[in-house]
Amino acid sequence: MKIIISGGGTAGHINPALAVAELLRERGDEVLFVGAEGKMEMERVPHAGFSIIGLPVVGIQRRLTLKNLAVPFKLLRSLSKAGNIIKNFKPDVVVGFGGYASAPIVRAAQKRGIKTVIQEQNSYAGLTNRALAKKAYRICVAYEGMERFFPAEKIVITGNPLRSVLTNLPSREQALKIFDLEPAKRTILVVGGSLGTRTLNEMVVQNEIPSNVQLIWQCGRYYYDEMVERAAHKIPLAYIERMDCAYSVADVVITRAGASTVSELQLIGKPTVFVPSPNVAEDHQTHNAMSLVKRGAAVLVKDSEAINSAMQMAVELAGDTERCLEMAAAQRAMGRMDAASDVVKVISAQNYPNCLMPS
């Protein structure tokens, strides 16, 4: 089959797309990515060995700015270019993983009667996917109750596709060596995303860490130089290349609640303190986190309270072995290891429009 995959802007859209693309490539399918010019997918996708074409599409800024005046013109240019991509590549299926980058190519495919599939990572559907859902063939989701946003008859609960590296974590001993950590101490993993998160970084800087606790701290590239200057003794990392090792050795995780992060934690099972970002559409990170909190699989701290309380909460949790075990088990009960292959089943179903749903 010939398949176009689109979605980007954040790792939360790119990583699930790459997980599915890798399986399609293993089957012998031809995959082409379409992204937004200047965004991280234009670097990450070629690094994974896939071809990608960029569109000039941009998102609307939430603040009042003259940049928004260019949005409709760039959208029209993107729709025109998307039409040419489809004409030249002749895809059997076009798959959108969300974000404004996916809108032009999926819309162009729908206009031409080409089968389209949408994958929604969050528990609160994004604007792009909601706009494209009506004419989509199937909508793959990670959470129950998504008929609030999409036609119920099109929904398939697959979970969020994850990187295969997380299905077989390295040993704790190996991970301890990689991060040069002490075996007798409890380990807290603080993950602020690839660019970083001011709130979580301030939390680390402003709080003392007990002597029986050690940190793995991803402060993000944007904040790295500042954090080295302010808290070099806590060893900030701009980026964690071996996230599988970080997860393996962590006793407790403090993190934002992006969809991919939530799904990873459900798969591996790690006691978690979620600090949802307040700067996302429809507060979807809080919705993501609450899906675990309601089942006793995590705790939530508001961003406005995190600097003063999140680290203390994580330290207390790290010392409560019984609660950690219960929380990890509750997470794993929600995990979906076969999400990527189930999405591939939906994409590749031949008896369209009567698709064989994943079991």
Q: Which residues are annotated as a binding site?
A: 10-12, 122, 163, 194, 240, 285
Single-letter code of the amino acid located at 131: A
**DSSP β-ladder status, 138-141 and 30-36:** unpaired
Strand order across the beta sheet in which 272-274 lies: 236-237, 213-218, 186-191, 252-255, 272-274, 299-300
d(CA 42, CA 176): 33
Which residue intervals of the chain are DSSP H helices? 11-27, 41-47, 71-89, 103-111, 127-132, 172-179, 198-206, 224-231, 243-249, 259-268, 284-293, 303-318, 321-332, 339-348
Tokens of 317: 């949790």
Question: First vs last Cα of the chain: how many Å apart?
Answer: 23
- Which residues are documented as binding site for UDP-N-acetyl-alpha-D-glucosamine? 10-12, 122, 163, 194, 240, 285
Residues 6+ apart with CB under 8 A from 273: 252, 253, 254, 255, 298, 299, 300, 301, 310, 313, 314, 317
Tokens of 59: 């998102």
d(CA 139, CA 73): 29
